[in-house]
Amino acid sequence: MNDELIGTQTPTRRITDPQEALAALESAVPGLRGLRRAEPVVPDWAVLEDGLGTALPADYKHLAEWYPTFALGDFVLVALPEPGGEHHLLHGVRGALDVLADAWLEPGRGPTARPAPGGLLPWAESNESDTFLWTTAGDTPQDWIVTVASRSGGWWHYAGGAVQFLAEYAGGTLEPWALPSLGPEVSPC
């Protein structure tokens, strides 16, 4: 990435249970429950994971099974796969990886834009070109941390999962380095 690492934020306690992480997000964003499906749906995870060459974190999969794509604070777009739309999301992720490789990242500096171990894999974006990614390092996808690539060129890590990151960002317990504060408003997309 163009600038140096700003730093790493570590949650008081990393939430590893997908149901607990989703409950924390629903608590931080009360309006989210209005978008919750009556019954979970199951996207074809094999299509996505085979296409990316890696499994995905359980908290993200749990979120996608209960919720459609949504925006938080009219700022962060959380694109989630829908059954039958897996190839569309896969195409979007590949496009985002190409953009990151071309525009944000310099060879030899920081993580690389690829889902291979130690690389970056996008899972959300802002309406101002900030990108929210996983750093794909660790024994399993549950060990991955969030990396934020700011439109200003700064980047930083959050040593927790994506759903917990969203809960803490919307709940105001996360320092939003290089990002605006995020309110608890939610809207379907």
Find the mean pLDDT for residues 24-44: 97
28: Cβ contacts below 8 Å, ≥ 6 apart: 166, 167, 168, 170, 171, 184
Sign of CA dihedral 136, 14, 109, 125: positive
Contact, 152 vs 47, CB < 8 A?
Answer: no
Closest CA to 124 of 178, 83, 165, 159: 165
**Average pLDDT across the chain, whole number:** 89
Query: What whole-number distance in Å separates Cα of residue 100 and Cα of residue 94?
Result: 10
Closest CA to 78 of 126, 117, 113: 126
Percent of the chain with pLDDT over 90: 68
Token code pair at residue 49: 């994971």
Q: Residue 112: its pLDDT value, please?
A: 59
Query: Regarding beta strands 186-188 and 76-78, do their DSSP bridges make them parallel or antiparallel, or are they unpaired?
Result: unpaired
pTM: 0.91
